[in-house]
Amino acid sequence: MDELDLVRKIAPDDEPDDFVLERGRADLASFLRGWQQRTGGAEPLRPWRMTAPGRVADQALLDVIEHEGYVVLEDALAPATVESVREALSPHLGAGPFGRNEFEGFHTKRVYSLPAKSRAFDPLIEDESVLAVAETMLGPNFLLTAALAIEIGPGETAQGLHYDEAFYSLPRPRPPVSLSTLWAIDDFTAENGGTLLVPGSHRWGDEMPSPRPEVVPLEMSAGSVALYPGTLWHAGGANVSDERRLGVSIQYVVSWARQQESYLLAIPPKAAREVSPRLRQLLGYSIGPAFMGHVDGRHPEKLVRADR
């Protein structure tokens, strides 16, 4: 079994089987040993890690993203915030269906449009360290394009490799038009479906240069966040553990691009006035250069105020 065989289908049945999970764990251990032999190191490759830099994007952080294609900010959320997010998601995950296809995952639950569900997600969306990176990478007036929770269950198979902004159909290589963040609400491990990253793939052209690129499992503790441009190839990993793995994906996009989620419908003006001005701007109640996003020639913020 090679690298991408491992991250594809592990369990063929609707319910995870103990034998299948044990086989998956053995295959994964062999996979990681192969990394060690190829790299000559005592440990498999690990994602680059840094501490959160604050309001202004730290140049060292930006350099790591430019060189490697990703970075992990450890301890970006306080434990109390992690628990608030978990509690806010609990009723939606309990009632929500599993995925509809292999990409969403037949053993995975997703909760979309998080800003419409609870204010518990606002600290993640408005995180100063992340927004500083987004502004440097995407320019002023960038928007929130997607905010969803992903809970990967035991026996889940891995996604195929992809990059998040493929639907914009712009030739590569090029600068990114989006920034993706992945917040760990549970610990991410190689066994429980930690996202698989392809280092340096944000610089690739339109085609993968190899059908078997080297991947790095995203392992990080709860409260950490991974940042990577929308041009980085990656995939949700297979969950060969006995536990569910919960994460929150928040993505930002340049001001001129269409958002994945229609926030002006999900959060209409009456509801939008209850959130912060910064979040309203990210949702699309804002103007991009020179007057993109106006309502009858006026700033949409005036529409929110008029609805009071």
Based on the fold, state whether residues 89 and 166 are members of the same structural domain. Answer: yes
Predicted local confidence at residue 15, as pLDDT: 44
pTM for this entry: 0.83
Predicted local confidence at residue 55, as pLDDT: 47
Read off the DSSP letter of residue 288: B
H/E stretch holding 144 reads: strand 143-152
Based on the fold, state whether residues 301 and 215 are members of the same structural domain. Answer: no
What phi and psi, each to the nearest 5 degrees, are found at residue 209?
-70, -15
Predicted local confidence at residue 34, as pLDDT: 46
Based on the fold, state whether residues 307 and 168 are members of the same structural domain. Answer: no
Q: Which domain holds residue 278?
A: 270-308
Which segments of the chain have a pLDDT < 50? 1-25, 29, 31-45, 55-56
Based on the fold, state whether residues 250 and 276 are members of the same structural domain. Answer: no
Predicted local confidence at residue 3, as pLDDT: 42
**Which two tokens mark 28?**
């994964």
Query: Domain total for the chain?
Result: 2
Based on the fold, state whether residues 65 and 111 are members of the same structural domain. Answer: yes
Choose one of 243, 261, 279: the last residue of a domain: 261
- d(CA 13, CA 2) in angstroms, rounded, equals 21
Based on the fold, state whether residues 91 and 189 are members of the same structural domain. Answer: yes
The b/e string for 252-263 (b: 16+ C-beta within 10 A; e otherwise) is bbbbebebbbeb
Predicted local confidence at residue 50, as pLDDT: 56
Based on the fold, state whether residues 150 and 292 are members of the same structural domain. Answer: no
Predicted local confidence at residue 61, as pLDDT: 87
Q: Using an 8 Å Cβ cutoff, are 234 and 191 in contact?
A: no
Q: 235-266: per-residue pLDDT in tens?
A: 999 999 999 999 999 999 999 999 999 999 99
